Structure 1
Amino acid sequence: MISAASQDHPAPERRHAGAASVAVVDTQRTELLKLDNISKIFGGVKALQSIKFDVMPGEVLCLAGENGCGKSTLIKVISGVYQPEPDAVMLMDGQSIEGLDPAKARELGIQVIWQDLALFPEMTVAENIAFEQNLGPRPRLVNYRQMKVAARRILERLGVSIDLGRSVRSLSIAQRQIVAIARALVADARLVFMDEPTASLSHAETEALLKIVRRLSADGIAVVFVSHRLAEVLDVCTRVTVLRDGQYVGTFPTAGMTQTRLTELMTGRTFDYAVRTTDLSAAPVVLQVADLTRRGEYDAVSFAVRKGEILGVTGRLGAGRTELALSLFGMTRPGAGSISLDGKKLSLGSNRDAIRAGIAYVSEDRLQLGLVQPQSIGDNTVAAVLDDLLDATRLISLKKRDSLITDWIEQLAVKIGKPEDAVSTLSGGNQQRIVLAKWLATNPKLLILDSPTVGVDVGARAGIFAIIHKLAAQGMAILLISDEIPEVYFNADRILHMRNGRVVREYVPGATSIDQIERDVHA
């Protein structure tokens, strides 16, 4: 076990004041939930080994660890999906829990909001929120008036307003998160697990969600928060329980904890944080953007990216970062201005034009736009270069295909079972490596990375950025877009700050402090 008292390394991050509004844990009270000696074995593989876990009423607790550490398995044990091995101790309000299954867990007030939210997209907001109220052993008529009253009451309790008659499909991801939380409260939740609730949210949407989490805490509802965004963990949680490789590392107060220290606890490794100091002022320009404008999205944007340079772009919600990236990749047409690659002006009518010119784009939405989840790892890897795999008969050469797949899996150190496995079987970090492989196979001159570490754990993030640094060292020009300022600060040579569709300032990491950039961006 690692001691919480061991020396921290210098950290690029700080605690935020928001944590002060979370309910203070009274350690003299009985734990809402207390587990001891929780183990789970699948086919001889020890997914969990003698885990300890406890959460107090009204507490916001973080359950932290890399992908594959056992977090999801532990949550499924607590929610009755899996049965632990014999000799496990499970107490709720000090009383032993026997024969726990999903129905009994819900009766006890245990609710889980998984990352996919498990909502019904074609049903209305009210129907989704009050869904469980209409379940029962016998068929019965649905009381829509009562359903709307219950849904409205819960949303008012959360301090939000959403049209109860709208279909969930029409809602933003942030609004769907609120609907999922409201559904848990209708079911009289006392303990809510939130699995990566902010993975697809903007900074502003995340702040709104954390405000709701604090409101739940103030109402006495315990929340277990699972997130790879460690700044949020330190902001909203009072304690953090760390798992590594299915084992219990420890439970630590977040007061005084840094992202660096928490990363070390989760991974067992030390990470060095240092700004890039490469002088690329004499390197040839790969991408030149001049006065690029698209009405309502971005305005008079000008910048250059040089060979081997990583240019960071950051800013708040609505800054126009992704909209700019889509135009650079030919997905939308700018109304004015120019784009040049290697000194040649481009007229991009589609993403195919951009790919042919030598531009690759890794979308921020890996699940929907980056990968075809049901298809194999191999098929996803070669999806953008099928024309290059054709033989003399205009059919795909299996030899070329298999060679390319093997080559990129080895180069990017992707951990897989078999190339024929569905890409959905991979962890978030390995899925992102497959997205990179798909685009690197096109041999691009410019690689656009839009929030490349969304939903990726801290250890895998370091591996992905190591790949990005290697690509830059080989001469690739890279545009790195992220709303996580430490990501661009420690991985980019220069940083552009976008606000309301315009570039308002340029920074050089090291010459400007990360605190100054964060103040400017969030002012």
Structure 2
Amino acid sequence: MKGTSTMIEMRNISIDFPGVAALKNVNFHVEKGTIHALIGANGAGKSTLMKVLSGAYGHYRGEIYFHGEQAAIRSPKDAKQFGVQMVYQEVDTALIPHLTVGENIMLEQMIHGMGRKQLIHWKQLHKQAADVLANLNVAISTHKRVDELTLAEKQMVLIARAISDQCSCLILDEPTAPLSQTETEELFRLIRLLKKKEVAIIFISHRLPELFAICEEIAVMRNGELVMKEKTALTSPDDVIEQMLGKTLDEQYPSRQPSTGETILEVKNLSDDHMVKNLNIEVRKGEIIGIAGLVGAGKTEICQALFGASLQTSGAIFIRGQKVNIASPTDAVRHGMVLVPEERRKEGMIISESVATNLTVSAMSRFSKLFSFIDFKKEKRAAEDMIQRLGIVTPSAEAKVANLSGGNQQKVVIGKWLLGEADIYIFDEPTKGVDIGAKREIFGLITELAKQGKGVIYASSELADIVGMTDRVYVVYDGEAVKEVPTSSTSEAEILYYSTGGK
């Protein structure tokens, strides 16, 4: 054992999936009342290790101990008996959209109550849920349906559910990805509160500044192995990145010499039925423009309005100087405009299908023979070429995309549009939840599109990426583009000023 304060010890944990040894004899321990960082490149094994601990994967080899006693954890129910709760990155897969906030928070208690054929006391249920939210300092009505919430609100509901039951170890998988700075600070306040109560926190994130701000220990995984475990105060971000990648990281943002051409997209006074107000932007060939703003400012709504995924109430869109009617995503694709969405699992891929199917689904006409028969050999070659071109880590083209890491899923979502004939690419938070190495690769793909003369819209709340990647920036506040600035003459501080309502 590592000492009397060791709560959890995982010994020689190994697990295999078809064609992949995901974990290789990993030894990992967790101290009570300590905030641990767990980091690694996409596919390194960090989420897999935590799914073993939380009971999602029961076919592992090795042993798990709680307070020195061996524990048989082969299911989520087993893990919860030891107080292990995991909040996953993809919030919509863990919540029931047509139920209320209160019902989602108290879901475990509802199920157990119904299992004993007991009546549900709705008033008491909502009061208990409201008390949990009050402890989080989160102002969400427990009677509101989950499908009416923002991403940030859904994340807080999941965290509230996790701590509503007895929780001795809370695992957070990219918890701050959908949160604003204020919401992140609230989450950190909660984490520190749980630490005082001797709850162990395992924090999975790719945002190194956050890890160094709140975590006491940092563990790094690479290729299914634990390669580093150190006190945060005794290491540095550069050391961590080098351990993650097995090499030093080159310059994060690709160098480029912008060469812009004619205007390819012009938007005049566009409004939707929800949030977008009088949007005026233009994009030139070979140009990367930024849509910058805080979480909830309206960036995603702008991307959806441009792509025809929301009801347009006024305004006009011109492509190559011609006014076009984009009333649906089909219209947008027909006019050469594509969207890589923020919620990739929900909106950007067919999660139950193969990598090959997801890569080729938007360009099936390229593989059709006479009478609409599909040339499957040609389709497979195209998919395999794209896998190699993008460096997608997968056992084969036939592997299910659901089994890939977040960064590789994002490459698949981007890759499906590269096989088409698009001229305008909209990226909504394209590096959300991907590691620093995969970010560099995605930045390279976007830069290459601009070099080919494509028009690129890059929407992000990561202001450093906005400054590092774009030529011009439109700053969004409350659904409006309130400021336009050349990137070369602005800064993160100025963008943040206008993002928070500055005049």
Q: Alpha-carbon deviation of 1:212?
A: 3.2
Are the structure 2 counterparts of residues 304 and 255 from structure 1 closer, same or farther at C-alpha, using a change threshold of 3 Å? farther
Q: In the alignment, which residue of structure 1 is the partner of 2:161?
A: 183
Picking from 82, 89, 109, the partner of 1:108 is 82
Q: In the alignment, which residue of structure 1 is the partner of 2:458?
A: 480
Q: Alpha-carbon deviation of 1:429?
A: 1.7
- On the 8 A contact 2:30/2:36 being kept in 1, the answer is no
Picking from 420, 423, 445, the partner of 2:401 is 423
Are the structure 2 counterparts of residues 379 and 135 from structure 1 closer, same or farther at C-alpha, using a change threshold of 3 Å? same
Higher helix proportion: 2
Q: In the alignment, which residue of structure 2 is the partner of 1:135?
A: 112
Q: How does 1:325-474 map to 2 (within 5 A)?
A: 325-332=303-310, 334-474=312-452
Equivalent residue letter for 1:51: N
Determine helix, strand or coil for the equivalent of 1:505.
strand
- On the 8 A contact 2:220/2:243 being kept in 1, the answer is yes
CA distance in 2, matches of 1:378, 1:444: 19
Deviates more, 1:484-493 or 1:443-452: 484-493
CA distance in 1, matches of 2:270, 2:51: 50
Q: Deviations over 1:460-493 (max 9, x none)?
A: 2211111111222222221111111122222222
Are the structure 2 counterparts of residues 516 and 234 from structure 1 closer, same or farther at C-alpha, using a change threshold of 3 Å? farther
- On the 8 A contact 1:311/1:493 being kept in 2, the answer is yes
CA distance in 1, matches of 2:7, 2:478: 46
- On the 8 A contact 1:280/1:306 being kept in 2, the answer is no
Picking from 41, 46, 56, the partner of 1:71 is 46
Determine helix, strand or coil for the equivalent of 2:25.
strand
Are the structure 2 counterparts of residues 310 and 389 from structure 1 closer, same or farther at C-alpha, using a change threshold of 3 Å? same
CA distance in 2, matches of 1:182, 1:295: 31
Give 5+ residue unaligned stretches, structure 1. 1-27
Are the structure 2 counterparts of residues 443 and 261 from structure 1 closer, same or farther at C-alpha, using a change threshold of 3 Å? farther
Are the structure 2 counterparts of residues 46 and 479 from structure 1 closer, same or farther at C-alpha, using a change threshold of 3 Å? closer
- On the 8 A contact 1:289/1:338 being kept in 2, the answer is yes
Equivalent residue letter for 1:110: V
Q: In the alignment, which residue of structure 1 is the partner of 2:12?
A: 38
Picking from 212, 215, 219, the partner of 2:190 is 212
- On the 8 A contact 1:228/1:455 being kept in 2, the answer is yes
Equivalent residue letter for 2:41: E
Equivalent residue letter for 2:226: Y
- On the 8 A contact 2:11/2:28 being kept in 1, the answer is yes
Q: Alpha-carbon deviation of 1:499?
A: 1.9
- On the 8 A contact 1:276/1:509 being kept in 2, the answer is no
Q: In the alignment, which residue of structure 1 is the partner of 2:302?
A: 324
- On the 8 A contact 1:234/1:257 being kept in 2, the answer is no
CA distance in 2, matches of 1:275, 1:45: 32
Equivalent residue letter for 1:97: Q
Q: Deviations over 1:356-383 (max 9, x none)?
A: 2221111112111111111222222222
Equivalent residue letter for 1:236: I
Picking from 18, 36, 61, the partner of 1:61 is 36
CA distance in 2, matches of 1:335, 1:149: 40
Is 1:48 aligned to 2:56, yes or no?
no
Paired-residue identity, %: 32
Equivalent residue letter for 2:7: L
Equivalent residue letter for 1:67: N
Aligned length: 492
CA distance in 1, matches of 2:70, 2:345: 37
Deviates more, 1:194-203 or 1:489-498: 194-203
- On the 8 A contact 1:204/1:317 being kept in 2, the answer is no
Are the structure 2 counterparts of residues 334 and 255 from structure 1 closer, same or farther at C-alpha, using a change threshold of 3 Å? farther
Are the structure 2 counterparts of residues 359 and 55 from structure 1 closer, same or farther at C-alpha, using a change threshold of 3 Å? same
Q: Alpha-carbon deviation of 1:161?
A: 4.4
Q: Alpha-carbon deviation of 1:315?
A: 0.8
Q: How does 1:94-173 map to 2 (within 5 A)?
A: 95-100=68-73, 102=75, 103=77, 105-116=79-90, 118-133=94-109, 135=112, 139-144=116-121, 147-173=125-151
Q: Alpha-carbon deviation of 1:254?
A: 4.1
Are the structure 2 counterparts of residues 421 and 177 from structure 1 closer, same or farther at C-alpha, using a change threshold of 3 Å? same
CA distance in 2, matches of 1:282, 1:71: 41
Q: In the alignment, which residue of structure 1 is the partner of 2:174?
A: 196
CA distance in 2, matches of 1:91, 1:414: 37
Give 5+ residue unaligned stretches, structure 2. none
- On the 8 A contact 2:105/2:158 being kept in 1, the answer is yes
Is 1:301 aligned to 2:273, yes or no?
no
Q: Deviations over 1:116-147 (max 9, x none)?
A: 56444555444443444463998342452654
Are the structure 2 counterparts of residues 104 and 305 from structure 1 closer, same or farther at C-alpha, using a change threshold of 3 Å? closer
Q: Deviations over 1:278-301 (max 9, x none)?
A: 554663332233444447633443
- On the 8 A contact 2:355/2:399 being kept in 1, the answer is yes
Deviates more, 1:133-142 or 1:441-450: 133-142
CA distance in 1, matches of 2:400, 2:11: 34
Determine helix, strand or coil for the equivalent of 2:171.
strand
CA distance in 2, matches of 1:282, 1:196: 36
CA distance in 2, matches of 1:119, 1:326: 23
Are the structure 2 counterparts of residues 448 and 225 from structure 1 closer, same or farther at C-alpha, using a change threshold of 3 Å? same
State TM-score, norm by structure 1: 0.81
Determine helix, strand or coil for the equivalent of 2:444.
helix
CA distance in 1, matches of 2:22, 2:363: 40
- On the 8 A contact 2:264/2:285 being kept in 1, the answer is yes
- On the 8 A contact 2:22/2:45 being kept in 1, the answer is no
- On the 8 A contact 2:473/2:486 being kept in 1, the answer is yes
Q: Deviations over 1:20-46 (max 9, x none)?
A: xxxxxxxx9942525364332538947
Q: In the alignment, which residue of structure 2 is the partner of 1:273?
A: 251
Equivalent residue letter for 2:53: I
CA distance in 2, matches of 1:135, 1:460: 42
Equivalent residue letter for 1:61: H
CA distance in 2, matches of 1:515, 1:256: 30
CA distance in 1, matches of 2:108, 2:274: 42
CA distance in 1, matches of 2:273, 2:157: 33
Equivalent residue letter for 2:29: F
CA distance in 1, matches of 2:378, 2:260: 38
- On the 8 A contact 1:277/1:493 being kept in 2, the answer is no
Are the structure 2 counterparts of residues 396 and 485 from structure 1 closer, same or farther at C-alpha, using a change threshold of 3 Å? same
Picking from 231, 241, 246, the partner of 2:224 is 246
Determine helix, strand or coil for the equivalent of 2:370.
coil
Are the structure 2 counterparts of residues 245 and 392 from structure 1 closer, same or farther at C-alpha, using a change threshold of 3 Å? closer
